[in-house]
């Protein structure tokens, strides 16, 4: 069963078990999906209200894009666990001969790259959701839902930071120097863009309450 198809209790119980996956990477993607979903919710709640009529068009865009990002992050949640399972399978490959050792090592390296690419994708999607929510905050929204937007910023910040930890732990075992440098540069750029916006958004929400 896909993680995204589990009930909340089943997912959390699986997360809390001795199963190595799902783990922090899938949890980070789920937090991102929650943040994007909350932004979509606030977009929905801003529409159809006379008081916020000036913001309705952008609110509809936030609702639509927030839901798209939510779906993509839920997909990343499943693919993160699938990538981990590929690495686990690679470690189980035979290593009796030099040929087997080389094949096993190559499979492990490819698996580790996949395990790095999924949290990087989570960071990129989370960053887009942060920008979307921040733009929404700046343009105007239903302030009765300010706390929901604040939780969106917190969830997205946690998702991005958590995904970055998963990038780093995998990079430490990858031998491809160019791949490592590229992933680190992309991740650091996403952090630099998203985290200040998430923090500023949260502070602005606090000032509204």
> What is the DSSP code (8-state) at residue 144?
G
Cα–Cα distance measured from residue 49 to residue 166, given in angstroms and rounded to the nearest whole number: 42
Q: Using one digit for the tens of pLDDT, what is the confidence trace for 144-169?
A: 999 999 999 999 999 999 999 999 99
Produce one character per residue of 53-65: b if its CB has 16 or more CB atoms within 10 Å, e if not: eebbebbeebbeb
- The pLDDT value given to residue 85: 87
Question: Before 71, cis peptide (omega within 30)?
Answer: no
Select from 96, 108, 64, 83 the least CA-distant residue to 23: 83
Residues in the chain predicted with pLDDT less than 50, given as ranges, are: none
- The pLDDT value given to residue 2: 87
Cα–Cα distance measured from residue 128 to residue 193, given in angstroms and rounded to the nearest whole number: 10
């Amino acid at each position: 069963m896909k993680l995204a198809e589990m009930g909340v209790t089943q997912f959390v119980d699986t997360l809390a078990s001795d199963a190595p996956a799902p783990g922090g990477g899938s949890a980070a993607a789920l937090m991102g999906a929650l943040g994007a979903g909350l932004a979509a919710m606030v977009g929905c709640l801003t529409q159809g209200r006379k008081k916020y009529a000036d913001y309705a068009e952008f609110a509809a865009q936030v609702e639509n894009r927030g839901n798209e990002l939510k779906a993509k992050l839920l997909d990343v949640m499943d693919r993160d666990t699938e990538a981990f399972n590929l690495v686990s399978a690679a470690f189980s490959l035979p290593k009796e001969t030099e040929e087997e050792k080389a094949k096993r090592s190559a499979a492990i390296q490819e698996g580790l790259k996949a395990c790095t690419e999924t949290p990087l994708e989570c960071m990129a999607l989370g960053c887009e959701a942060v920008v979307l929510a921040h733009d929404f905050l700046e343009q105007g929204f239903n302030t009765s839902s300010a706390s929901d937007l604040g939780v969106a910023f917190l969830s997205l910040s946690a998702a991005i930071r958590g995904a970055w930890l998963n990038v780093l732990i995998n990079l430490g075992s990858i031998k491809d120097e160019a791949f490592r440098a590229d992933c680190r540069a992309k991740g650091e750029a996403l952090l630099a863009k998203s985290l200040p916006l998430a923090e500023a958004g949260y502070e602005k929400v606090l000032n509204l309450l």
